[in-house]
Structure 1
Amino acid sequence: MKLLKRTFRVLLLLFLLLNIIAAFHAWKFTHFYAPGSFRNRLPEQMSVLEKAQMLLLGVRISKSVVRHTPEVSYEIVHLTTSNGLQLEGWWMPIPSAKGTVILFHGYGGSKDGPIPEAEYFRTLGYNALLVDFRAHGNSEGNVCTVGYKEAEDVMLAYNFVQQKGEKHVMLWGVSMGAAAILRAVPTYHLHPDKVILECSFATLTDAVKGRMRAVGLPGTPFSQLLTFWGGIENGFWGFNYNPADYAQSITMPALVCWGVHDTRVTRQETISIYKHLGTKKKELVIFEDCGHQSFCRREGKKWKQHVREFLIAR
């Protein structure tokens, strides 16, 4: 009996300790520090000691900084979230545009990341709008929910373009940006003409597992705890945040892109999103030389060909 009690106490202690560690991780993963406070490093770039320290205490992440601007003229625009945060965007219209493409960056990025993609859309005859998600770049805030609340940012950008009189809106997003689009369309009843989704995770738990893989750690059960605490700390149920499920509401044409060397998002996740899409007009493009990165920059010729054909298809 005493042995059972001791075993129970040890297990309980370990369970509590694991939850405390997970809560710290979740908080630091979703709360950014002031720009320049820390040197952001990819987990793949860390030493064994740094990874061990990150395992126990989590990693402090500085808010992203916008370092580049478009080479073409643009207008700085501001959008206001329901909790009063000011988001910053770059509006880049062209004469007699065929429509508008709104571009959304990934976790820890900023609106200067997809500048090459925006420039290509403009050469095809489309206006472009680049937006910093909340807590990224020049937008206000320090809390990131990996696409859950950022779905509102997608809606605000969409409404801005519609208020410009635009009737043909396309949405492009990478990683967290793609996940935010998938949630925004059904949540806010958006009706874009087409969507382009690159490197989206299938569930929040999958996103956490991807981060664990990056540091060479097993994803389960720690990823489940991070999903739980990440949602609780930010006011939502993390296990219900599943971009693959939202994909069922995507009834417009969709282009899905994924890189073979992606260590953050698996082929299985990508296939899940693709299969769940509620449209018959869909295409999956696999990039053999890419990882979790810009396909436009890495395999530009192939990316541009598929994007061009996708946009002109009826």
Structure 2
Amino acid sequence: MKKFLKYFLRTVLVLFILVNIITAFHAYKFTHFYDAAEAAPQNKAAAILLGINAFKQQNAAADSGNEKVILTTADHLKLEGWYSAAAVAKGTVCLFHGHGGKKSGTNAEAEAFRKLGYNTFQLDFRAHGSSEGNTCTIGYYESEDVKLVYDFVKSKGEKNIVLWGISMGAATITKAINDYQLQPNKIILEMPFGSIVEAAEGRIKMMGLPAEPLARLITFWGGTEHGFWAFNMKPVEFAKKITCPVLLQWGANDPRVSRKEIDDIYSNIYTEKKLVVYDSSAHESLCKKENEKWVSAVEEFLK
């Protein structure tokens, strides 16, 4: 019996160590973007065991009306943004893309806002697009990136600042509000996750793997590897600090962000608010998927 117990305990210990090694690799890949020439091709087994190599997406060419702006973080990373000024503007909309995205991925939304009479500022988060860095903290340190954009637009004398974000971009806006007490005039949040744990659950489910305990292990290792306590990244809690009107939007077919996450965030917004659900959309650009409905909802909210 003692031999069996020792064998059993050793087996459990070995499995525990292996699971943690695998999730630590996955956490690193989830929070790291390679430059195109940096990573070797992966086979399927390596991707399953060690995670998928994600590459920084390249931006499409900037429109002629876009001014390139470089912002610098506290740790000296150069972030690239595009600022586009309207002849007579009602305000400025700052746009923030999702995890693995790029600023040109928000071109459809930026163009729509400009048609509604707003200046736009599109940013590449750190480790994305044309910005420096390779480490992404799923919104934790990126909250500084949002503040840098907000401060830049405010320094131009703008009195009507609107923050728009999708997925990680939306979650990061709530973190910036919490960290820096930003005071935008209005906020548009599209499919923000409730917490990093829930964001990890959504990613794992899409891989066909059991969410628990993998989501919590990936959250733990992702934060540990980059020097922060990832369990504190909770947009559902940060939403309580918002003091301006909020438009919260979500696609009913979203496989990553659940309706419960959206409802929990909505219930924690204590200011003027509106929730719009897009019946034909998933975790994608609502502006592109259901353009007419999106433009109508946004135009009404910005009045």
Task: Identify the TM-score tier after normalising by the shorter chain.
Answer: over 0.9
The aligned counterpart of 2:108 is 116
TM-score by length of 2: 0.96
Task: Please show how residues 62-77 of structure 1 align to structure 2 within 5 Å.
Answer: 62-70=55-63, 72-77=64-69
**Aligned-pair CA distance for 1:67:** 2.0
In structure 2, distance between residues paired with 1:67 and 1:2: 63
Supply the distance in 2 between the matched residues of 1:216 and 1:5 (Cα, whole angstroms).
33
Residue matched to 1:32: 33
Write the deviation string for residues 200-257 of structure 1: whole angstroms up to 9, x where unpaired: 1100011111111111111100111000000001111011111111011112100011
1:74-223 alignment to 2 at 5 Å?
A: 74-223=66-215
Q: Pairwise CA RMSD of aligned residues?
A: 1.6
Q: Secondary structure at the match of 2:34?
A: coil
Paired amino acid for 2:31? T
Residue 285 of structure 1 pairs with residue 276 of structure 2: yes
Q: Which runs of 5+ in 2 are unaligned?
A: none
**2:37 and 2:87 mapped to 1: Cα distance?**
39
Counterpart secondary structure, 1:113: helix
Give aligned-pair identity as a percent: 50
Q: 2: CA distance between counterparts of 1:202 and 1:175? A: 10
- Which whole-Å CA distance do the structure 1 matches of 2:115 and 2:279 have between them? 26
Determine the structure 2 residue equivalent to 1:13. Answer: 14
Q: Quick one: which amino acid aligns to residue 291 of structure 2? A: G
Structure 1 runs, 4 residues or longer, greater than 4 Å off: 36-41
Match of 2:242 among 244, 250, 253: 250
Aligned match of 1:309: 300
Partner Cα distance (2:95, 2:156) in 1 = 17
Amino acid in structure 2 at the alignment position of 1:311: L
The amino acid of 2:52's aligned partner reads: V
Distance 1:28 1:129, change over 3 A: same
Number of equivalent positions? 302
Q: Partners of 1:258 and 1:132 in 2: how far apart?
A: 22
Give distance in 1, aligned partners of 2:124 and 2:248: 22
User: Residue 36 of structure 1 contacts residue 62 of structure 1 at CA under 8 Å; is this kept in 2?
Assistant: no
How much has 1:298 moved relative to structure 2?
Answer: 0.7
CA distance in structure 2 between the aligned counterparts of 1:5 and 1:278, rounded to whole angstroms: 55
**Counterpart of 1:261?**
253
User: Can you list the C-alpha shifts for 1:173-217, whole angstroms capped at 9, x where unaligned?
Assistant: 000100100100120110000100001110001111111111111
TM-fit CA distance, 1:39: 10
2:129 partner SS: coil
Q: CA offset at residue 68 of structure 1?
A: 3.8
Query: Is 1:155–1:190's contact at 8 Å kept on the other side of the alignment?
Result: yes
Q: CA deviation at 1:126?
A: 1.0
Query: Residues 89 and 111 of structure 1 are in contact (CA less than 8 Å); yes or no, is this contact kept in structure 2?
Result: yes
